Amino acid sequence: MTNKVVLVLCDALRYDTAIAQMGFLWHLVETKAASFYKVIGELPSISRPMYETIHTGLPVTEHGVTSNQIVRRSQVPNVFQAARDADKITAAAAYFWVSELYNRAPYNLVDDREVDDESLLIQHGRFYSEDFYPDVELFATAGMLTRKFNPDYLLVHPMGMDDIGHKYGSDSKKYRRNAVRQDMILANLIPEWLQRGYNILVTGDHGMNADGMHGGTTADVREVPLYLIRPGAPGKGDTEETLSQLQIAPTICTLLGIPIPETMHHAPIV
């Protein structure tokens, strides 16, 4: 088993929408090529705090990024730091808030948009700053990063579900259609990633409600899917298990074959 990981973090992807609309991913679940879990997201169910929670395994009161308005680098052990400490190659195709958390803050639109710098936590970064940035372009960038740099850890972070959800709500044709589109793109990328030896995680940071909002406590904004697909290994199908979002960071570390930081107290799922 290889020790490379792709985390596909689909911003604002609801649990029920993923099941209903993402047919390729569910095919992998049905054929037990993947393991599927329900994840209960941390609070508040908003983006920047959850990016940090997913990468640190900590609730917001412990990592300190309590709102989208906290603009600074991460101050606690995180997946990118742990990977670099283990001499792993890191990369990301992601929203600029990720750059601010793990590379430099505040984000400079000219200097920070494309980076290839061995000294940074995200060594090979391609970042975007507009919420309507096309998912297809973002996924293509992720594919390029794998082929060009062969990173050990790659974060892939499309914003389409969030942008469309805010504009039209989660109970809209456009929101559901975008989930289908993301699934179709992943159907082309996942086989190549598996061939390249990547363990693949697909999840969301939070959900979206019918009003086009998130941030609260209801299931529609807290429950997100988690698919785990491993190269050359069978999955468990639909496990019907419910996990904590705090388990994702230690799971990534385990899949990378690196030590889990002492601050990550929750058990990995592998």
Give residue 2's pLDDT.
81
| 4-9, strands of its sheet edge to edge | 114-116, 124-128, 90-95, 153-156, 4-9, 198-203, 223-229, 34-40, 237-244
Would residue 193 count as lying in a domain? yes
Residue 1, pLDDT score? 63
The CATH number of the domain where 154 resides is what? Answer: 3.40.720.10
Domain membership of residue 162 (yes or no) is yes
Number of structural domains (the chain) is 1
* Number of residues assigned to the chain: 270
Does an H or E element contain 255, and which? helix 248-256
CA distance 126 to 147: 14
* Residue carrying structure tokens 């390729």: 24
Runs of H (alpha helix) within 68-159:
79-85, 96-102, 135-149
CB-facing half-sphere around the CA of 270: CA atoms within 13 A: 27
In a domain, 222, yes or no: yes
List average pLDDT for each run of 10 residues in the chain, which is 270 residues long.
Answer: 93 99 99 99 99 99 99 99 99 99 99 99 99 99 99 99 99 99 99 99 99 99 99 98 99 99 98
**What is d(CA 156, CA 141) in angstroms, rounded to the nearest whole number?**
9
Residue 24, H or E segment = helix 23-30
pLDDT at site 14? 99
Where in the sequence is the domain holding 73, given as residue range(s)? 4-256
In-domain check, residue 75: yes
CB 52, CB 39: distance < 8 Å = no
For residue 264, tell me if it sits in a domain.
no
Inside any domain, residue 214:
yes
Residue 263 within a domain = no
Residue 268 maps to a domain: no
- DSSP β-ladder status, 114-116 and 124-128: antiparallel
